[in-house]
Amino acid sequence: MFEMACKSVDQVMILACSGGSNVGQLSNRAAVELTREGFGKMSCLAGVGGELMGFIHSAMTTPVVVLIDGCPIGCGKACFDKLEVPIKIYLVLTELGIEKTGDMELKAEETAKVKEAVKQAVASYQAALS
């Protein structure tokens, strides 16, 4: 259902936190899996944060950009805010009810929850534009 809303892999960019906690790593895993499944294409959040113009330009011109932060510290959001790059879709995993821990244990059901949240957010965003 949600795959149909994504007309082209190139129209949805996914940027994810890959921080030193379970939720940072979970953000990254969900982005990788969505890309492998053909739902959007993962890009490099560090490239945006490092102020590399190619990454910034892509983030500004891709029709649907999903930024996933693991926790409310919001490192990814800070990169976008600093450069005044508009955030189209923003998810924080702890706001999805996933607890931040110091371990790196990733649970399949949490990965599935994040992927579903991304798909729903993209579908809602695209419907609002229609």
CATH assignment at residue 81:
3.40.50
pLDDT per position as a tens digit, 100-111: 998 888 999 999
pLDDT per position as a tens digit, 62-100: 999 999 999 999 999 999 999 999 999 999 999 999 999
In-domain check, residue 56: yes
In-domain check, residue 118: no
In-domain check, residue 109: no
pLDDT per position as a tens digit, 27-69: 999 999 999 999 999 999 999 999 999 999 999 999 999 999 9
- Average pLDDT over all residues of the chain: 92
Residues 6+ apart with CB under 8 A from 63: 11, 12
In-domain check, residue 124: no
pLDDT number for residue 130? 85
- For 13, the enclosing helix (H) or strand (E) is strand 12-16
In-domain check, residue 89: yes
In-domain check, residue 113: no
Is the model's pTM score more than 0.95?
no
In-domain check, residue 48: yes
> Domain count of the chain?
1
Residues spanned by the domain of 71: 9-97
**What confidence tier does 10 reach under pLDDT thresholds 50, 70, 90?**
low
Residues 6+ apart with CB under 8 A from 88: 64, 65, 66, 125
In-domain check, residue 102: no
